[in-house]
Structure 1
Amino acid sequence: MAATTGSKDLHQSINQLRVCITALRVQYGEAPAVRRLTNDLERLEIDVHDLETSPPEQLRPPPARPDVVYVPDSKSDEQAWLGAQDEGLGFHSRSRTM
């Protein structure tokens, strides 16, 4: 993993977490919760090392979104639709109502 802002932030966060867990160990000793937090910290350090030494393939950026067409939800002009086919709706010859 290249020295990116994310990687630097991650290392700083792990260091801050280490300081906090050390303070908890001083306050509570080897309580089960403190031991679990210590194990979690060690796991994070292992995962970061794995990510740095053997980074996975980077994701490709998502494809560009097509232009979005805004369709207002206000009532449209009914006259524009007179005589139009109701394709796929199953009632081609129904009388139109206003």
Structure 2
Amino acid sequence: MTSSEIVELRRALGQLRHCVGSLRTRYGDIAAVQRLANDVERMDIDAIELMELDSTPRPREAPRVEREVVVVPDTPYDPKLWHDADDEGLGGYRHT
């Protein structure tokens, strides 16, 4: 974001904060007003983080690694592969 965009964002958040204050005066501290106030505060924190990003050097991106695609067949396995294997789903040994 450019600094002018951040300034505009902070101005809009100030207006939102004012509107939420007016809602709190009118409706009291009900859950909906509390959620709106929390949302505005969270956006303000995020805006501050964006401002800090502009003042710190950005890390270089890690090179992309090509991954090999392994195709797993969907045909049933040979039941002999599982002979004498533990059946963990039933909590014990399966005797055949």
TM-score (norm 1): 0.51
- Name which structure has the greater RCO, CA cutoff 8 Å, separation 6+: 1
Q: Secondary structure at the match of 2:26?
A: helix
Structure 2 alignment gaps of length 5 or more: 59-96
* Amino acid in the other structure paired with 2:19: C
Report 1:1-98 matches (<5 A). Answer: 4-55=3-54
Query: Which structure dedicates a bigger proportion of its chain to strand?
Result: 2
User: Partner letter of residue 33 of structure 1?
Assistant: A
Deviation at 1:26, TM superposition (A): 0.2
Deviation digits for residues 52-78 of structure 1 (CA, Å, limit 9, x no counterpart): 112495xxxxxxxxxxxxxxxxxxxxx
Structure 1 consecutive aligned stretches of length 4 or more whose deviation exceeds 2 Å? 54-57
Alpha-carbon RMSD: 1.9
Higher helix share: 2
Q: Distance in 1 between matches of 2:6 and 2:48?
A: 11
Q: Which residue of 2 aligns with 1:77?
A: none
Count of matched residue pairs: 56
